[in-house]
Amino acid sequence: MTLLARLDRARGGLAADAALYGLAAAFALVTALTSTLLPHRAWGAVAAWAYLGAFLVVAGQLVLRRARWRMALTWVAWAGAAILPLVIQAVQRAGGRTDRAQEEVLVAEHMGERLGDTGTPYLGHDAIAALPPGEQLLGYAPYQPGMAVFGLPRAAFGDVWWTDARIWFAVATAAALVAAIRLLPGGGSLVRAVQFATVLPICALTLATGGDDLPVLALALLALTLCARGRYGAAGLAVGAAASLKLFALPIVVVLAVLAVATGNGRRLLPGALGLPVLTLLPAFLVDGDAFVENVIRFPLGHGLVTSPAQSPFPGYLITQTVPGGRYVAIGLLVAVAAAIAVVLFRRPPRMAAAAARFCGYGLLAAILLMPTTRFGYLLYPLALLVWAPALGAALSRPTGSKAPHGDTALYRL
C-alpha cells in the first residue's frame, strides 16, 4: 500500500475527511473575504459554514473513533456548500441582482432563447460584430448545441429562480451521480470519489456560480461506471450526452471507444457515443454551419472577434505570454503530448474501466496545463476522474470484457 493510500485510509478515512473539510472551509472563507468575483464571494460566505459544520462532525467522529455515515455527510455537505448557495444566488438574481451569476450561465440561457427563436443556439460572425463591444463576449457560445437545453426553461417561463440554468445543471449532475453510485458497491474509495465530484471546493464553487462543467463531468463518470458494469450501450448514451454539451468530453469519448473495441463491445458503445453528438449538432449546423464554426472552433482557438477570458497561469498560457511565438509553441507541445498519449492508448488499450479513467484523467490534466487559454476550474475533470478510478477498481475485480483475463496489466500501465 502506498503512502498516499495509507493516509487516505487513516482512522477509517476520517483523517482525510477532516483535512478535506477543514481546508475547504479555509478556502471558502478566503474566497468570501478576498475574491474579486462577486458570485464567488457570495458562495464563500455560505459554503464556509457548511464546510465548518462537516469538519466539526468529522472531528467528533475522530474523538469517538466511529467512522460512520461518511457518504451521508458528503451529500449533506454538498447540499450546504453547493446547492444552498446556488439557490440563494438564483433567488437573488431573479429579484434583480445582476452580480449573482457567471457569464457561462447567461451564455447557456441565451443559447436556449436563440434555439427557440431561430433553430440554432449560435450567432454568426456578422451578428456578433453588430453587438456593442461590451456585449460581444456574451454573444459567443463555445459549447455544443446540447447546452441550449439548460437555457430552455428560462426562455419558456421567464426570469424566476427555478429557471436559472444552474438549477438544471445541478439536477442533471445529481441524477447522473446518483445513477453511477447505485451501480457501485459502497466503500471508502467510493466515498472519496463522490467527495471529489461534489464537495471539493473547485466543484462546489463551479456549480454554485457557473455550473456548466458539472453535468459533463457527472455524465462522464456515469459512462465509466456503466462500462465497468458491462453496460456499454447505456455508457455510449451517457458519454454521447456529455459530448453533446461540451467538446471537452471528446477525449473521454475516444478513450471509452478504445476500451469498448478492445473488449469486443464497440458495436454497443459507438452508436450512442458518436451518434448522439452528431444528432444534436446536425440541426444547428444545417441552419447556420458558419455560426457553429465561429463559436465552437474559431473562438476557443483565439480567432474570434474577442478573446476568451480563460487565462489561468498554467504552463501553456505562460508560454503564450512570455515566449516569442508562444501560442504556436504551446500548441505544438499540446499536440506532441496528445500524440504520445494516443500512441500509448492504441498500443496498450485499457481493458478495464479503472484504467480508462486514469487515461482520461492524465490526458485531460496534460491538456489543461498546456492549452494556451484555459481555466483553473477545469482541473475538476482530471481530479474527479483520477479519484473515481480506484472506486471502479476496488468495487469490480473482474474485467469489463468477457475475454479479458483477471491478470490483465492495463490497470498498472499508467
Q: pLDDT of the chain along its 414 residues, tens only?
A: 566 677 667 777 899 999 999 999 999 999 999 999 999 999 999 999 999 999 999 999 998 888 788 999 999 999 999 999 999 999 999 999 999 999 999 999 999 999 999 999 999 999 999 999 888 999 999 999 999 999 999 999 999 999 999 999 999 999 999 999 999 987 778 999 999 999 999 999 999 999 999 999 999 999 999 999 999 999 999 999 999 999 989 999 999 999 999 999 999 999 999 999 999 999 999 999 999 999 998 888 778 888 877 678 888 888 888 888 887 888 898 899 989 999 999 999 999 999 999 999 999 999 999 888 788 889 999 999 999 999 998 645 444 443 443 333 333 333
319 φ/ψ angles, rounded to the nearest 5 degrees: -60, -40
Q: What are the cell numbers at 123?
A: 450567432
Please tell me the predicted confidence (pLDDT) of residue 108.
97
Please tell me the predicted confidence (pLDDT) of residue 4.
63
Please tell me the predicted confidence (pLDDT) of residue 272.
97
Chain-centroid distance, C-alpha 287: 29
The neighbouring-strand residues paired with 413 are none
Per-residue pLDDT tens for 24-60? 999 999 999 999 999 999 999 999 999 999 999 999 9
Please give the C-alpha separations between residue 343 and each of 8, 144, 326, in angstroms, as whole numbers.
33, 28, 26
Contact in structure between 63 and 179 (CB atoms under 8 Å) = no
Local structure of residue 307 (DSSP, 8 states)? -
If phi over 0 gives left and psi between -120 and 50 gives alpha, with beta otherwise, what is residue 176? alpha
Per-residue pLDDT tens for 388-398? 999 998 645 44
pTM: 0.92
Rg (CA), the chain: 21
The secondary structure of 95-162 as a DSSP string is TT-SSSS-HHHHHHHHHHHHHHHHS-S---HHHHHTS-GGGHHHH---S-GGGGGGGHHHHHH-S-GG
Domain boundaries, the chain: 1-100, 101-149+161-412
End-to-end CA distance of the chain: 17
CA–CA dist 264, 232 (Å, integer): 10
Contact in structure between 237 and 204 (CB atoms under 8 Å) = no
Please tell me the predicted confidence (pLDDT) of residue 317.
82
The neighbouring-strand residues paired with 311 are 374
